[in-house]
Amino acid sequence: MQLTDVLIHLDQKIDEIEKENLVEQLRNVDGVIAPRFTNAKAHLLLIAYNSDTTNSATLLNKVKDKGYNAQLVGL
């Protein structure tokens, strides 16, 4: 298993319930280990995942499919 992190920037503010729902939906993606929003910057979503199973483009598309404007941020 190859663990990798990706940072996704959301362009809009979302409330705590929306954050919890998005995190829960990402947990259901095969290969996702730990999706979470950062405490210091609430618009940044950090996702730890198994890169043997999924990839950053797939995760970004999952976020966009939920209607959010988002882009990958280089780590």
- pLDDT for residue 41 is more than 90: no
Rounded CA gap, 49 and 67, in Å?
A: 22
The count of domains in the chain is 1
- The predicted pLDDT at position 74 comes to 72
Range of the domain at 25: 3-73
pLDDT at position 70 over 80: yes
Which domain CATH number covers 11? 3.30.70.100
Q: Residue 75: its pLDDT value, please? A: 57
pTM metric for this prediction: 0.91
Residue pointed to by tokens 């979302």: 14
What one-character-per-residue DSSP string does 20-70 give?
HHHHHHHHTSTTEEEEEE-SS-TTEEEEEEETTT--HHHHHHHHHHTT--E
